[in-house]
Amino acid sequence: MHTAHLTIDPAFRVAPVRRRTFGTFVEHLGRCVYTGIYEPGHPKADEDGFRRDVLDLTRELGVSTVRYPGGNFVSGYRWEDGVGPRERRPRRLDLAWHSTETNEVGIDEFVRWCAKAGVEPMMAVNLGTRGIEAALDLLEYCNHPSGTALSDLRAANGAKEPHGIKMWCLGNEMDAPWQTGHKTPREYGRLAAETARAMRMVDPGLELVACGSSSSSMPAFGTWEAEVLEETYDVVDYISCHAYYEEKDGDLGSFLACATDMEYFISSVVATADHVGARLKSRKKINISFDEWNIWYLSRFQNAAPPVDWPIAPPLLEDHYHLADAVAFGGLLITLLRNSDRVTAASLAQLVNVIAPIMTEPGRRAWRQTTFHPFAQASSLAAGDVLRVEQVSPMYETAEYGEVPLLHAVATHDGEATTLFAINRSTDQPLSLRIDARALGGARIVEATTLTDSDVYARNTADDPDRIAPRPNPGIQHDTMTVVLPPVSWNVIRLA
């Protein structure tokens, strides 16, 4: 058994817990929208055709914001196709996913779904095939109260009240060669800046996100952020980060340490943004919207043939997550929380069926994937301030990241309750963790749960939906403030 200890002290404050850390993403991709959130013929569909079982699970997941409608999809999207009477909505080719888009769901339905789910919508505009005018039209349609062509059209379409969308992404992954209409950083930076300026003429209070690199491994990573921010610094609030991880070549040790790359990614983008700010002699800080993050077996997708015959809502990117995925995922969530001073919004990509914590069968059941649980626990229990923890942990060698601590942890503290989120990355040994909570005035452990299994590749399925779920941790020693974390585990320890 390994041993580690850590100190929790309210003085080690990083930033407030940001509710927007617990955002997700709904894209017109595969079965995320159709047979995901929307399936009119389903036995649990409500009067709008939304699946009640998915709405319930979304609320249980504790989602704050939902980014929409893409992703790669948005770079060819004409938002007007998705409003007005359904029978008049056109079908279009979706070049991003080689599918047919029926437009049965559009912006009005999505905002309606958000209200039912109790989440904040976050919108992306198309800067791939379109530009300033379409973005302004969409903004007027969504947010202007009434008395103009587009706001009155919204009312005529059944949404009298404005949608009031605050947060807007200026395109998606515009650096990426797979993006329809992708651009050089100067081309994109100019277009994003002019779009942002025009949108702010409508509403100066919008929160705008400029596209960062599609991943930290893109050839122009760093240069892209610097050049885009040189153009947009004064008119945007965020730069985006996107990162996906998967276990490669059976190297579980490296995979469990993937948050190391995310830490590097965040610190590099923060340094780049601050460097641009310094050169511009600006006091303003650009924060990060980590608006796509997850475990994604991207190599499987890249090796598969694209759909033929332009199907409607084909099953795409339907990864079935196992325990080790959930633990690596928990590590990423811990990293997002640890960086809450600069990562002030994030979106788990995505919500349903497409690399998602919620899975559905058309016409039948819905269930929680393994990754559902770290997200739901962190969203419901993280409160007050994020605290850095001072830890002493054994290290282990990884092929991808060198020496990495076995323990990866963060705490939150709201004056009364303190919660520690921790993963044990050891693939074969429990980790006995002693918690020094003297600065919390005699706080005791009140509960500890763990997400673990004897088989690190065990999954939840429709037939066995709760195989992997948080269970009480039997390894608590109250007198020594010690908890034993099983190998390959996600853990939540509550003190009061």
Residues within the interface to ligand AHR (CB under 6 A)? 27, 29, 70-72, 172-173, 214, 292, 349-350
Torsion of the alpha carbons at 319, 320, 325 and 326, rounded to the nearest 10: 120
- Give SS3 for 271: helix
Provide the 10 A C-beta neighbour count for residue 455.
Answer: 12
- Per the annotation, the verdict on 292 as an active-site residue is yes
By beta-carbon proximity to ligand AHR, the closer residue of 12 and 301 is 301
Give the C-alpha separation, 495 to 115, whole Å: 34
Least Å distance, CB 329 to ligand AHR, is: 15
Instruction: Decide whether 233 or 375 has the Cβ nearer to ligand AHR.
Output: 375
Beta carbons of 383 and 419 less than 8 angstroms apart = yes
CA 81 to chain centre: 27
Select 140 or 292, whichever has its Cβ closest to ligand AHR.
Answer: 292
For the chain, what percentages of helix, strand and coil (3-state, to nearest 5) are there? Answer: 30, 25, 45
Which pair of structure tokens corresponds to residue 301? 């997708």
Nearest residue to ligand AHR by CB is 71
Smaller CB separation from ligand AHR, 252 or 298: 298
The smaller minimum CB distance to ligand AHR, of residues 350 and 489, is found at 350
Tell me which residue of 337, 221, 223, 222 sits closest to 290, measured CA to CA. 337
Q: How far is the CB of 74 from ligand AHR (least distance, A)?
A: 8
Nearest C-alpha neighbor of 109 from the set 171, 170, 26: 26
Instruction: Report the alpha-carbon distance of residue 212 to residue 171 in Å, rounded.
Output: 10
C-beta of 85 vs 177, nearer to ligand AHR = 177
Q: How many other CB atoms are there within 10 angstroms of residue 134's CB atom?
A: 18
The vertex-126 CA angle with 123 and 129, nearest 5°, equals 170
Q: Are 121 and 114 in contact (CB under 8 A)?
A: yes
The owner of tokens 């079982």 is 53
CB of 215 to ligand AHR, least distance (A): 8
Q: Helices 372-381 and 323-338 sit at what angle, rounded to 10 degrees?
A: 30
Closest CA to 291 of 239, 328, 252: 239
We find the least distance from the C-beta atom of residue 297 to ligand AHR, in angstroms, to be 12
Place of tokens 């310094």: 278
User: Measured between alpha carbons, how far is 211 from 323 in angstroms, rounded to an integer?
Assistant: 32
The active-site residue, picked from 39, 80, 101, 292, is 292
d(CA 153, CA 162) in angstroms, rounded, equals 11
Determine which one of 80, 101, 140, 173 is catalytic: 173
CB 142 within 8 A of CB 82: no
Q: Least separation, in Å, of the C-beta of 193 and ligand AHR?
A: 21
- Whether residue 173 lies in the annotated active site: yes
**Among residues 482, 492, 491, 490, which one has the least CA distance to residue 2?**
482
CB of 70 to ligand AHR, least distance (A): 5
**What minimum distance in Å lies between the beta carbon of 236 and ligand AHR?**
18
Closest CB 29 distance from ligand AHR, rounded Å: 6
Nearest approach, Cβ of residue 218 and ligand AHR (Å) = 11
Residue in the structure block whose two tokens are 């153009």: 231
Name which of 317 and 484 has its Cβ closer to ligand AHR: 317
Question: φ and ψ at 267, to 5 degrees?
Answer: -65, -35
Nearer CB in complex with ligand AHR: 32/61: 32
Q: Which residue has the tokens 């077996």?
A: 297
Nearest to 169 by CA among 249, 276, 65, 296: 65
Would you please indicate which residues are annotated as catalytic (active-site) residues? 173, 292
